[in-house]
Structure 1
């Protein structure tokens, strides 16, 4: 039986006075690759931020490996939305990746040659080693996303959260990122990804979590990625979903 590595119970959160998450409950199994899907404004990014204590919760309990986040955070990696990052900050790609090691190095200590070697190897894994000395503002959107993924990889975490890592990237970068995520899964790591393209869900994820303020459905993609659950989650916002959809979803 698969080990539960994240248990969320009765989680609620708001922005100002607007409830964004309401009574969210789910469990995540070790070694799973889960896509979080739902319409714009459904609370997908807020869910990740609340789980990682980057946004306050109103109610609820969050357990990672049976522990509160603060005691488990060393084994958790996070890739935020690219649009939330100040890419004009004067630093190069290698230094961005080194930042992923500050939990090990300590903020007031200088990274060693061994730390920089680990960071360089993470860039190599994302085919970004030739850009190690390039200012991040000079990188394309896809290259920036690869650097941020390298920063998460260098942490060698057990559980990764990624907020729309495929948004606005080219097809080659999307393929490279998904290859890395599946490699992490094969290594027994656990990955949760905010995802916006319903047409690729069945190809990319073995689990799917439908979210619209609360969890509408969650489970194995083969079982729960159905037209009925998409309708339940997206409601009237179905216009962009391919008509017919036999190659996208199946019916119960």
Structure 2
């Protein structure tokens, strides 16, 4: 039995006195690629932010490798939602990726040629080496997302959290990102991804966490991602369209 890598116990969080997460409990084993899936407002992004101390918890405990986040933060990579980033900040793609190395370099210390090579290698892996000197504000949404993934990759973390990395990107970028995520899994990294497209869950993830303010179902995709469990998470906002995995989302008022 693989050792537990991430453990979340009785985690709760709120925004403006409204409870967003309630009594969240789950464990994650190493070398897994997990999709965090649930309806809008389910607390998916809040879950990641609370686990990473970016949002305060009301109750609960989160541990990585058996330790609290501050003690292991250098071993954890995070890609936020693209919409939460100030893309007008005057910096180029290479500088953005190099920021992922500051844990090694140290703040306010000069980067060396080896750091530049590491950053360029990460950009090349994402097909963005030719854009290294391009201002990030001049890049398309998909290109920006590739740069941010390159920044996470250059950290060489053991655990990666990604908040909707496939939202609003073109098909080529989506496939490029998923190829990298599956490669990370294949070399023993652990990846958790907030994901919104139910049609691709089975092809993309080996584990699924179905969330709606609390964890409703969590485990291997073939066991957890069923018609009944998805309906449990989405309630009246999901309709089964027939076939193996055909869903249609509705907003009922």
Name the CA distance, whole Å, in 2 between partners of 1:18 and 1:179.
Answer: 38
Residue 170 of structure 2 aligns with which residue? 170
Equivalent position to 1:243, from 241, 244, 248 = 241
Name the CA distance, whole Å, in 1 between partners of 2:159 and 2:208.
Answer: 16
**Could you say what secondary structure the match of 2:39 adopts?**
coil
Could you list the structure 1 runs, at least 4 aligned residues long, displaced by more than 3 angstroms after superposition: none
Name the CA distance, whole Å, in 1 between partners of 2:166 and 2:141.
Answer: 10
Structure 1: runs of 5 or more not aligned: none
1:26-105 paired onto structure 2 within 5 Å? 26-105=26-105
Name the CA distance, whole Å, in 2 between partners of 1:198 and 1:230.
Answer: 9
TM-score, length-scaled by structure 1: 0.96
Name the CA distance, whole Å, in 2 between partners of 1:247 and 1:67.
Answer: 38
- Would you say how many aligned residue pairs link Structure 1 and Structure 2? 247
Residue 135 (structure 2) pairs with residue 141 (structure 1): no
Name the CA distance, whole Å, in 2 between partners of 1:232 and 1:94.
Answer: 44
Structure 2: runs of 5 or more not aligned: 248-253
1:199-210 paired onto structure 2 within 5 Å? 199-210=199-210
How much has 1:237 moved relative to structure 2? Answer: 1.1
**Could you say what secondary structure the match of 1:145 adopts?**
helix
How much has 1:248 moved relative to structure 2? Answer: 4.7
**Could you say what secondary structure the match of 2:114 adopts?**
helix
Alignment RMSD? 1.0
How much has 1:247 moved relative to structure 2? Answer: 3.4
Residue 13 of structure 1 aligns with which residue? 13
How much has 1:103 moved relative to structure 2? Answer: 1.1
How much has 1:245 moved relative to structure 2? Answer: 4.3
Q: Deviations over 1:74-94 (max 9, x none)?
A: 100000000000000000000
Paired residues of 1:9 and 1:24 also in contact (CA < 8 A): yes
Residue 132 of structure 2 aligns with which residue? 132
Q: Deviations over 1:187-239 (max 9, x none)?
A: 00000000000000000000000000000100000101001001110001115
**Could you say what secondary structure the match of 1:87 adopts?**
coil
How much has 1:62 moved relative to structure 2? Answer: 0.5
